[in-house]
Structures are given as C-alpha cells and as structure tokens.
C-alpha cells in the first residue's frame, strides 16, 4: 500500500477552535469543566480513526475572558487521563513545558498516561516563552539559549528515566515470589546544566515502550530539537510552499542527527467548518465568530495594503479599491486574502473564509477539505494534518462523516487502526530509553 | 444524631498494604499498572460508604523490589483521575509534596481533579525529606526550616490561586455572549521567600469550592501547618493514649490558629485482615507476608529486650524467657508485642499479629475491628480512621461486608453518604481562596 496520511485533532477547551464555539446552539456552555464532553469528543475522533489528539497548553489566562472561553483545557494530563479511560485506540499527545516542570515529574506522568492508555501517549516537549506564564511560576522568562539547553537536558533525562526499568525487568511471577529483577533497574545519574535526576523511575514499559516525542517549536533551535528527538511535529503554516519547506528542513534536521528522515512526521494545521456548501460554511463561521470581525477589519486592511472601515463589512470591496491592493509581504496569508477578496465576497465573507486565522481554513463542503489535504500531502508538504474543528459538538462528526470517507475512498487514509499504540499509528520506530544514535 | 466516625482507605500500589499482596491467589500480579483494578477497588470502598481514599506518595524507588511491589501508585493524580471517572461519591485525597513541585502546577492539577470529581478532591500537603527523592530532582534535601517555610508559602499560594476566579465569575451565558466577568478574575501576586505566583488560575469553583487540605506531617512544624490549614490529618500512631494526645495537640493547634477545633479531624491508621476467626486471620497474614518474618525476628527481640533466633519461629517463647522480657521504651509498640507474646503464640504468630507494623493491626473477626475503632473513637483518640486492607482484591470487601454493618448497627458510621462532596463528608466548613482567619 502507498503512503497514507496521518490525522490528528486539536483538543482544546471543550468547545472547539472558534472563539465563539462555547455559545453556539446545542453546545453545553459549561463544557469548559466537563470531562464527560471531552471524552465524548475524543470518542467522536476515534470513530473517525484519527491517529491522535493533540493538546496544546498555556498555563496562564489569555484572551478576552469576557466573551471567549480560554482556548486551553483546564489541565492537559487530567483531561487525557479521562480520555484514556474512555477510548480504545486513539493516540493522545499533550504539551508539557520543560521550562517550569521537573523532568522527573514529566517522566512520571507521561509514562503513567502511557501505561493507562496501553501505549497511546505522546509528549509535545516545548520551552515556554511567555512572561505571563513565567509570572505564574514566580519567575522571569529565561534567556533563549538557557530555555533550549534545559529542553535538551529535560528530554534526555525523561527518556533515560523511561528506560531506567529495563523492558524485561518486571518479572511479577507470583509462584516464585519474584516481583522484579533489581539488576535490570538502574539509576540514570544524569546531571545537566539546569536539571538533573538520579532515578530510576519505578515504572515498567508500556505497550509501546515509552511515549512518543512531539515538537512544536520554531526557529533553528526548535528544528534541532525536533530533528534529534521528535517523531511528530505540529506546524502552523499557511501555504503549501512554506509547509513543504518546513517539512524538508525537518527531514534534513533528522538526517543531521543521524536518523532516517521518514522517522519524523510533519503535521500542518487545518481548521474546518464542514457544511453542505460554501455559503452554509461561511454562515456558520459568521454565526460562531462573526462578533470578532469588526476588530479584525483593520488588520485585514494591512494585509491587503488598503485602509478598510468596519462599516463596510456587508459590502464587497470595489474593483477600484482592489486594483490598488497589494499583499503585505510580512504576512504569508496576504496573497490568499487578496485572492478571496477579488472573488467578490463581502468583507464579512472574506473574514469568514478565515484569511487571518492561524491555519488554513476550509469553510465549505467535505470534498474541499479532502482536496486541500490531498494536494498538500501529494506535494510533500505534509505527512498528515492536525484538524481544528470549529465547534466540537457537531464539527467533529461532520468531518468524520464527510471528509474521512472521501479520503478513504481515495486511498489516502486508513479505514481502521492497524495497530494499537501511538507508535504504531505514526509508524515510529521502537525506542526505549535514550536513542543510542543521539549522542549529546 | 451523635457524632459518627469518618473512614478513609489507604490507596497504594494496586495490590494492598501487605508487601506480599501482589502474589496472593486471586490477585492480578500485573496490578501495579492496572487502572481497571484501581477503579474497581475504589468502587469497593465506595460501596462501603468510605468517605475518602488516601493516596500516599514517594517519588523514588524504595523497598526490596525483588520480592515486593512498590508501595505507591504509579502516579497519584493520574490514578485519582481514573478513580474520579469511575466513582460517584467517595472523596479522594492525594499527597503532593511542596518541596519539588511548583504551587501553580499543584493548584491546577488538584483543582482539575476537584472539578473532574465534582468536588471530591483533597490535597495532602507535605514537605519531602528523603534524599532519594531529592536526588530524583537533582537536588539535596533542603533544611527543615526552608522546607516548612516553602510548605506554608505553597499552601497559601495554592489556596489564593484557587480563589482567584471568584465564585460567581463564570457567567457562561450563551444568549448575552458573556463568558466570564473579568472584574471577578484577579491576579494574586504572592511572592514568598521560596515560591511565588502572579495568577490568576483560570478555573472556576468546584461543587465544594476548592479542594480540602490534609496534612500528614510530624513534629511541631507539621502540627502548626495542620493547625492552620488542615481539615484532615493522617496519623501513624500505635496506642490509644498517643492517638488521644496527638488529636488533642492538633485541636489545640487549630485553636491557636483561630479556628474551631472541630474543623480538624484526626485519622489514625488501622491495618485490617478480616477473617472468620483469629487463627484464620493469622494464617492469612502469614500467607501474605510470612516470608518477611525471618528478618524481623531480630527487631522483635529488641522490642522485647530478648535475644531471639529466626529458627524459633514455630515455637512460643518459654515462660522462663518471657519472665526476663522488658518492653523497649523507644518503641511504643513494645508493650503490645510483649502482651501478645505472653498469650503463648508462636513467634511466627506474634509477628502475624502485626506487632511491628506501622499501624495497629486487626487480624481476626470483623467485630474485633469494630471494637477497636469504637474504643478509640469513644476515647477521643480519633475522628475516624484510615484503613489499610491487607490485600485489596478481597480485603476491602471483607471489611465492607463485615465491619461496616457492625459500625452502622452501633450508630457509629453513616448508612449512606449525606452529601456529595469531600467537604460534606468531612463536615468541613466552606472555604474559597485563603482562609481570612489565617493571617501570616
């Protein structure tokens, strides 16, 4: 069989990726604290054979809390513990910052999640750069070099702890009374510049050995971390060209670290509003997030090189005005925004297309999403995608019932899980403890 | 109705409190990593109307791993997340050290557990003193004064974070589009000598407002912490006199902190092997832990002031020898050990009575356990108990089916949960944020 794409789902605040999702009809407005809902949404993604859930993190209050729910789950590990208990096959990747967490605590909780889910856990290992987060830990943001050095040290310590109980150390033979082989449980005694641990971590291997590493960083240092350790990289990239360039750079980084480039998978984001047709898709996005459009008109103007007024939301831009527009080179989304504006949509509809969202947006029929994914996948711009449904309550199901069957018919997506672990789902090579190829 | 006792259950490694529990007939020897088993055991305790589970912690490898399972769950919070999803009423208290954890992380995960369990979470806030644990965090054990100062600071910061989202701040009114009232979500800006946080913690109140504080420390400093903040204190005490003295001291400490002494509940431990009669109870303890007895004979001798030989296990001590015995004053269990020895039991049976276990031991019929609990409770030595069943697989059920009905018939224990939250179960006063009576 040919290469097939891998699909993950953004798993955030219990409502969906759109700021107004929490107040849509049919949505439980108290979903922010509902683990029942989160489990149900994970089950919906599992029905669609998604390979993983991806849980971002931001341990501080962000955004306009007066009108918008926080974009982040109340706690990534507790949420995934609930999901692990309520699902069977889907992988689950949580973000865990190494800047304000101890490696021993990270190693322990992610391994516990891995055991609890029977080998479906992944760790998105990232540094933290936001002063609001640092302040919640009574600190300042460390210098970039320090953050990345600590990230390297933390990943190595965590992986060494995961491997500190050898794969066959746990004997649990009731007849002989032998619980474990102490000769196969050893300290790691790693001490870096910023963090250290003696170990061992008294946890046996999971069904996939140990959790899979993800990365979501940027810049040269993030690329180097991904190249060394990551099996999956979560991207925020707007054009197929940028995605292909990033994927190539990641594959090169993996090769530089002595790995097979196929071991690292790149997942650009895609935000979906699946609807019977484009008009219905735009109307749904207007219903869920249209209240934010007036304050976005100014930035849209900057992207198009035009002075725009929030009072013009209901009208298309005039041909005369469009003739003077020039895409703003600083924002890679500008050319696409101008293309949409030139199609004659009202300013409100232009914004409803998601031209200034963090990821490409599909607002329309399922085959548009499938076409987008196929084009990126076949162009070598992606190994798969992480999908951000607009509103979880029905937006996961519309993707699962609409887009997934098309991808399956085209041979681009599996019809069922072949394996049981996240490592299986990602076709990531087995690893236990530190990767011996990665010398520090 | 008169005062009734509160019962918690020790919730450890998934096998039971006895070192050999993992290899008993009918026990799943892989239970160390089985969340299914843990949930089933929690459900068994809930069937018995236990008010809470108590999860100790020790983030390092301890004990003889070759023959004994680690005594600690693989991760307290992940275990209780699973239990929260699988139970309805029982409270759940986890140990979380303030020495190597950040207050923000503690505040977030315990509040998440509290939301997830609909108000059933408690935090056993303790410092860490063990060099093996410190080494897992790449550090040395801090000085005692520093540990306790950091404990005070951490509890206050955590409670302030819990209160940083006022009780009615979360509006979630879909019709008006108002998610929260930002005027009621405020930073805490607390900075101590060792830890600090700006907050707010973006989490609304749980059904009990915020988690309940437990303490398990010792010494004057532990007593002071308990007196200020704790609703429950977990004790390790062997005699009724010591228990009464400790309970009185705790109540005095609460009064000194400006609280009503009834706000603090003291729970001595009790280890149970419930069996049809004493002989069956002793045989069960010999089966589960008899392999450890040979190496305990020496210490038993020290307690009795006698030179004992491991070859004498099958015989009772001679009257001549017993006449020379003197209880060792350094160990409060010595008098009880001598009393049992004088009853004429073999050395093996003396040890099977649990005379050198960490808590009083009942090995015998249910009414012996009920009598013990009643005596301590009525003597003002306890507000309740935390029970450590020998082997969870059947040892919880024998307690629930044997001891609980006796206590209920005697009017000493509730017949069902009256409330829904841990705060209800403990009759702890409502609290949200810092206790205004506790000035630092």
Over the stretch A342-385, which tens digit does the pLDDT of each residue have? Answer: 999 999 999 999 999 989 999 999 999 999 999 999 999 999 99
Residue of A nearest to B62 (CA): A202
Percent of chain A past pLDDT 70, that is, above it, reads: 99
Whether residue A51 is predicted with pLDDT greater than 90 in this model: the reply is: yes
Q: Which of B35, B74, B177 sits opposite A203 (nearest CB)?
A: B74
Residue of B nearest to A137 (CA): B197
Note down pLDDT in tens along chain B; length 440 residues. 579 999 999 999 999 999 899 999 999 999 999 999 999 999 999 999 999 999 999 999 998 999 999 999 999 999 999 999 999 999 999 999 999 999 999 999 999 999 999 999 999 999 999 999 999 999 999 999 999 999 999 999 999 999 999 999 999 999 999 999 999 999 999 999 999 999 999 999 999 999 999 999 778 899 999 999 999 999 999 999 999 999 999 999 999 999 999 999 999 999 999 999 999 999 999 999 999 999 999 999 999 999 999 999 999 999 999 999 999 999 999 999 999 999 999 999 999 999 999 899 999 999 999 999 999 999 999 999 999 999 999 999 999 999 999 999 999 999 999 999 999 999 999 999 999 887 55
Tell me which chain A residues have a C-beta less than 8 angstroms from the C-beta of B59. Answer: 104-105, 108
For residue A432, the model assigns a pLDDT of 97
Tell me which chain B residues have a C-beta less than 8 angstroms from the C-beta of A137. Answer: 102, 104, 196-197
The answer to whether the peptide bond before residue A8 is cis (omega within 30 degrees of 0) is no
Identify any residues that bridge with A386 across adjacent strands, giving them in sequence order.
Answer: A8, A269
For residue B439, the model assigns a pLDDT of 53
The pair of structure tokens assigned to B343 is 């009853």
Nearest to B9 by CA among B33, B36, B41: B41
Using an 8 Å Cβ cutoff, are A408 and A138 in contact? no
Please indicate if any CB of chain A lies within 8 Å of the CB of B342: no
Q: Which of A85, A179, A182 sits opposite B82 (nearest CB)?
A: A85
Tell me which chain B residues have a C-beta less than 8 angstroms from the C-beta of A113. Answer: 78
Structural domains present in chain A: 6-275+365-426 (3.20.20.30), 278-352 (no CATH)
State the angle between helix axes of A103-116 and B76-86 in degrees (0 to 180), rounded to the nearest 10: 30
For residue A437, the model assigns a pLDDT of 81
The mean pLDDT value for A408-413 works out to 98
The mean pLDDT value for A20-41 works out to 97
Mean pLDDT rounded to a whole number for chain A? 96
Q: Which of B78, B104, B170 sits opposite A59 (nearest CB)?
A: B104
CB contact under 8 A, A65 and B185: yes
Q: Which of A75, A132, A181 sits opposite B112 (nearest CB)?
A: A75
Please indicate if any CB of chain B lies within 8 Å of the CB of A70: yes
CB contact under 8 A, A22 and B172: yes
CB contact under 8 A, B22 and A113: no
B 83-102 residues inside an 8 A Cβ radius of A: 84-86, 100-102
Model pLDDT for residues B280-308, shown as the tens digit of each residue = 999 999 999 999 999 999 999 999 999 99
B148 is in an annotated binding site: yes
CB contact under 8 A, A22 and B200: no
Tell me which chain B residues have a C-beta less than 8 angstroms from the C-beta of A101. Answer: 102, 105
The mean pLDDT value for A82-102 works out to 97
Please indicate if any CB of chain B lies within 8 Å of the CB of A127: no
Q: Count of CB contacts below 8 A, A vs B?
A: 190
Residue A439 pLDDT grade (very low, low, confident, very high; cuts 50, 70, 90)? low
Using an 8 Å Cβ cutoff, are B87 and B45 in contact? no
Residue of B nearest to A131 (CA): B198
Residue A105 pLDDT grade (very low, low, confident, very high; cuts 50, 70, 90)? very high
For residue B358, the model assigns a pLDDT of 87
- Complex-level ipTM: 0.96
Tell me which chain A residues have a C-beta less than 8 angstroms from the C-beta of B23. Answer: 174-175, 177, 179
For residue B437, the model assigns a pLDDT of 81
């Amino acid at each position: 069989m040919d290469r097939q794409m891998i699909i993950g789902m953004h798993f955030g605040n219990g409502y969906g990726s759109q700021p107004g999702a929490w107040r849509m009809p049919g949505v439980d407005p108290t979903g922010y604290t509902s683990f029942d809902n989160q489990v149900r949404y994970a089950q919906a993604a599992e029905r669609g054979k998604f390979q993983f859930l991806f849980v971002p993190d931001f341990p501080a209050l962000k955004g306009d809390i007066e009108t918008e729910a926080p974009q982040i789950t109340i706690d990534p590990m507790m949420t995934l513990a609930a999901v692990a208990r309520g699902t069977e096959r889907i992988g689950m990747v949580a973000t865990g910052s190494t800047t304000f967490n101890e490696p021993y605590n990270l190693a322990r909780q992610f391994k516990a999640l891995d055991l609890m889910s029977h080998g479906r856990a992944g760790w998105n290992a990232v540094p933290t750069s936001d002063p609001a987060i640092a302040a919640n830990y009574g600190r300042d943001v460390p210098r970039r070099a320090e953050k990345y050095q600590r990230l390297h040290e933390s990943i190595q310590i965590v992986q060494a702890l995961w491997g500190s109980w050898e794969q066959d150390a746990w004997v649990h033979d009731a007849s002989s009374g032998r619980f474990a082989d102490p000769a196969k449980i050893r300290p790691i005694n790693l001490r870096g510049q910023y963090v250290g641990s003696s170990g061992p971590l008294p946890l046996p291997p999971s069904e996939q050995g140990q959790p899979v590493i993800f990365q979501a960083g940027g810049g040269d240092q993030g690329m180097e971390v991904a190249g060394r350790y990551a099996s999956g990289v979560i991207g925020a990239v707007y054009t197929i060209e940028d995605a292909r360039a990033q994927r190539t750079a990641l594959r090169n980084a993996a090769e530089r670290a002595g790995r097979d480039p196929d071991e690292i998978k790149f997942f650009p984001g895609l935000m979906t509003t699946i609807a019977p047709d484009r008009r219905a898709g735009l109307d749904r996005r207007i219903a869920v997030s249209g209240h934010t459009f007036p304050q976005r008109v100014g930035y849209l103007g900057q992207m198009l090189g035009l002075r725009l007024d929030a009072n013009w939301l209901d009208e298309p831009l005039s041909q005369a005005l469009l003739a003077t527009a020039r895409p703003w080179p600083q924002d890679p989304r500008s050319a696409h925004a101008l293309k949409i504006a030139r199609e004659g949509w009202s300013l409100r509809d232009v914004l409803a297309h998601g031209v200034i969202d963090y990821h490409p947006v599909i607002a329309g029929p399922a085959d548009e999403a499938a076409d987008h994914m196929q084009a990126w996948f076949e162009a070598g711009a992606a190994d798969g995608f992480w999908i951000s449904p607009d509103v979880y309550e029905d937006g996961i199901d519309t993707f699962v019932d609409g887009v997934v069957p098309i991808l399956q018919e085209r041979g681009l997506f599996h019809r069922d899980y072949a394996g049981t672990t996240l490592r299986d789902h990602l076709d990531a090579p087995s690893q236990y403890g530190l990767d011996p190829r990665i010398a520090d």
